[in-house]
Structure 1
Amino acid sequence: MSSDTVPHTTLGSTGLEVSELALGCMNFGSEAEWMIDDREKSREIIHRALDLGINFLDTANVYSTGESEEIVGEAIANYRRDELVIATKVFGEMHDGPNGQGLSRKHIIDQAHASLDRLGVDYIDLYQIHRWDENTPIEETLSALTHLVDEGLVRYIGASTMAGWQFSKALYTADIEGYERFVSMQPEYNAVDRHEEANLLPICAEEDIGVVPWSPLAGGFLTGKYDRDNEPSGDTRAATDEYTSNRFTDENWAVLEEIRSIADERDATPAQISLAWLLAQDVVTAPIIGPRRIDHLEENVAAVDISLTDAEVERIAQPKFPQWPQEGKDR
């Protein structure tokens, strides 16, 4: 990697050095209309991210049913493996029929080998459970993950998106039974989705767990490209994806107004201020950015140079009150 534009930090209590922004690789595929659907352009974004000092790449087996992992593998083939931190996930449905999804010992180990093949690597740096599996004992899941670490196929294990009591159970089960312990958590977290402040984030802070937020720009809402008084245009994600359009609430528009105001004051963009707000949270290790264009990537990376004041951080936070579960959502 030719430069260190993005600073590096350690992941939670580990000594693993990761960039303060992770490159999310869900866009690298063809499964949905808003994905890039172009392998060459996807590889160009990955290469530019690596040149900018991002060494932390996050994907999942279920992203376009393995296509994202294949693209990542192609892109990193000529880069120094010892500098890269490759993260992927397991849980989602990979095929119809028995044992096609979940966190059983069989599915985890089978999918780890499949991910290794698609990524073209000998080991996975951070292997994460994508969701909690209500049908599999956590002891079985932890045993399978520990086996992968013992075999040298995985370096660290992480988790994503669950209730706080579930994560606490996983941590104390690992401690009591001597299984490998989760070192990181991927929560949905941004300036308008702050429910994890009342759920997972206090646990992560207490247990020194690395926090790698997904959707740091709320599906594009916090980029400022949408307007309260106008319907989203047909070529935007909000026009086809309710994940983004569901952010169109009075409270969230109030947050965005503060972000836009601070962006104007600092000659920055709303996306940069939104990322800077996340980076200002003590519990956060590395937000996962998901640019679909190189100029968006470079815009996001510039956020690491913005240090918000305590007053600015509070201005952005003030319109929202964190609560769990999220109001109106079935968790």
Structure 2
Amino acid sequence: MDYKNLGKTGLKVSRITLGCMSFGSPSWAPWVLEEAASQRIIAQALDLGINTFDTADMYSLGASEEIVGRALASTPRHRLVIATKLNAAMSDDPNDRGLSRKHVFAAIDASLRRLGTDHVDLYQIHRFDPDTPLEETLEALDEVVRAGKVRYLGASSMGAWQFMKALGLQRQHGWAPFVSMQNHYNLMYREEEREMLPLCRSEGIGVIPWSPLARGRLAGRSGTTRAASDKTAGTLYDNDRSSEEAVVAAVRTVAERHGVPMAEVAYAWVATRPGITSPIVGATKPEHLETAIKALDLTLSAEDVALLEAPYRPQPVAGHV
């Protein structure tokens, strides 16, 4: 496994990040793995050299963090890059959500307890919070860094103007900066190429994109439990069926040309785009991780890339809320 610096930092992350949304409780979502199966996938990731694990407090309402923490407990802490996120509602309490000072302080302590660690390597805001002054959020995040509970800060899908405003305020006040962006990016959704990705390259921000397979569509998967029950997928895709089908057909053509699974091609494309640091791979079966790792060695020719990108048509902004 190769490793890359996360943006301008000295933090080394594996070129594949294991997404841990699939670990937790099937009562939260029917496609989520319970602990025993989750631990097998996490152990496989460690064996493959993956050192970066991305979860969130909202995944299975904390159960994902608990499972990840127990699964990684026997691995020396310095060998791990543990990333988690906050913002989404954890209960019906109006203060148990968002990016207020109150919730930032409560959320980091709760995540540390569930993860069984004294610090998080990358603490990310899980979308923008329009109900909280940005300065309040950024100052609170700076304080959790200064308290030693967090090593680096990251953000997730939002407008480029919002992200640049945050970076500007952090510089103005000398607050700990965002060093990474976790955004929605794949062959079926490339709107991030307009502003966010150029901004990240210009500012030296690491990019760890989510949903590189477009919720399995780019892997040619259909009829799965997640496909049948993932309500979010419908808000992200299915806007232009003809364009999406053409993209899938292009992926299939390139995969057949190389004699590899479609998912390998989709991963290889994302991983080699300018400025991309480490795509987030969700896995519920051993072959899912194996395919992602193999993608890092797959060389796409200029002709392959042109064929993959040609069918794309502009899409409505998706994934920011």
TM over 0.5: yes
Q: Indicate the residue corresponding to 1:282 in structure 2.
A: 274
How far did 1:10 drift? 0.6
Q: Indicate the residue corresponding to 2:4 in structure 1.
A: 9
Given the superposition, is the C-alpha separation of residues 112 and 98 from structure 1 closer, same or farther in structure 2, using an over 3 Å criterion?
same
Amino acid at match of 1:29: G
* Aligned positions of 1:255-270 closer than 5 A: 255-270=247-262
Q: Indicate the residue corresponding to 1:73 in structure 2.
A: 69
Q: Indicate the residue corresponding to 2:145 in structure 1.
A: 149
135-144 vs 70-79, greater mean Cα deviation: 135-144
Three-state SS of the structure 2 residue aligned to 1:218 is: coil
Q: Please state if 1:318 is matched with 2:301.
A: no
Q: Count residues in correspondence.
A: 316
- The answer to whether the Cα contact below 8 Å between 2:250 and 2:308 also exists between their aligned partners in 1 is yes
Given the superposition, is the C-alpha separation of residues 330 and 284 from structure 1 closer, same or farther in structure 2, using an over 3 Å criterion?
closer
Amino acid at match of 1:92: A
- The answer to whether the Cα contact below 8 Å between 2:183 and 2:207 also exists between their aligned partners in 1 is yes
Amino acid at match of 1:12: G
Per-residue CA distance 1:105-138 (angstroms, 9 max, x = gap): 1100111011001000110000000011111111
Q: Indicate the residue corresponding to 1:229 in structure 2.
A: none
190-199 vs 263-272, greater mean Cα deviation: 190-199
- The answer to whether the Cα contact below 8 Å between 2:218 and 2:263 also exists between their aligned partners in 1 is yes
- Match among 207, 228, 250 for residue 239 of structure 1: 228
- The answer to whether the Cα contact below 8 Å between 2:157 and 2:320 also exists between their aligned partners in 1 is no
Q: Please state if 1:113 is matched with 2:109.
A: yes
Three-state SS of the structure 1 residue aligned to 2:166 is: helix
* Aligned positions of 1:78-157 closer than 5 A: 78-157=74-153
TM-score, normalisation: structure 1: 0.92
Mapped to 1, the partners of 2:131 and 2:18 lie a distance apart of 31
How far did 1:323 drift? 5.3
Mapped to 2, the partners of 1:15 and 1:129 lie a distance apart of 21
Structure 2: gaps (5+ residues): none
Three-state SS of the structure 1 residue aligned to 2:169 is: helix
Given the superposition, is the C-alpha separation of residues 206 and 324 from structure 1 closer, same or farther in structure 2, using an over 3 Å criterion?
farther
Three-state SS of the structure 2 residue aligned to 1:256 is: helix
- The answer to whether the Cα contact below 8 Å between 1:157 and 1:181 also exists between their aligned partners in 2 is yes
Q: Indicate the residue corresponding to 2:29 in structure 1.
A: 32
Given the superposition, is the C-alpha separation of residues 242 and 92 from structure 1 closer, same or farther in structure 2, using an over 3 Å criterion?
closer
Q: Indicate the residue corresponding to 1:20 in structure 2.
A: 15
Mapped to 1, the partners of 2:169 and 2:257 lie a distance apart of 49
Three-state SS of the structure 2 residue aligned to 1:219 is: coil
308-317 vs 79-88, greater mean Cα deviation: 308-317
Q: What is the identity percentage for the equivalent residue pairs of Structure 1 and Structure 2? A: 47
Amino acid at match of 1:264: E
How far did 1:242 drift? 4.0
Given the superposition, is the C-alpha separation of residues 130 and 80 from structure 1 closer, same or farther in structure 2, using an over 3 Å criterion?
same
**Moved segments of 4+, more than 6 Å:** none
- The answer to whether the Cα contact below 8 Å between 2:121 and 2:150 also exists between their aligned partners in 1 is yes
Amino acid at match of 1:181: P
- The answer to whether the Cα contact below 8 Å between 2:243 and 2:313 also exists between their aligned partners in 1 is no
TM-score, normalisation: structure 2: 0.94
Three-state SS of the structure 2 residue aligned to 1:60 is: coil
How far did 1:282 drift? 1.3
How far did 1:241 drift? 2.5
Given the superposition, is the C-alpha separation of residues 142 and 330 from structure 1 closer, same or farther in structure 2, using an over 3 Å criterion?
closer
Q: Indicate the residue corresponding to 2:181 in structure 1.
A: 185
How far did 1:253 drift? 1.1
Q: Indicate the residue corresponding to 1:3 in structure 2.
A: none
How far did 1:308 drift? 1.1
Structure 1: gaps (5+ residues): 1-5, 227-232
Given the superposition, is the C-alpha separation of residues 104 and 330 from structure 1 closer, same or farther in structure 2, using an over 3 Å criterion?
closer
- The answer to whether the Cα contact below 8 Å between 1:86 and 1:125 also exists between their aligned partners in 2 is yes
How far did 1:325 drift? 3.4
Mapped to 1, the partners of 2:244 and 2:254 lie a distance apart of 16
- Match among 156, 159, 162 for residue 158 of structure 2: 162
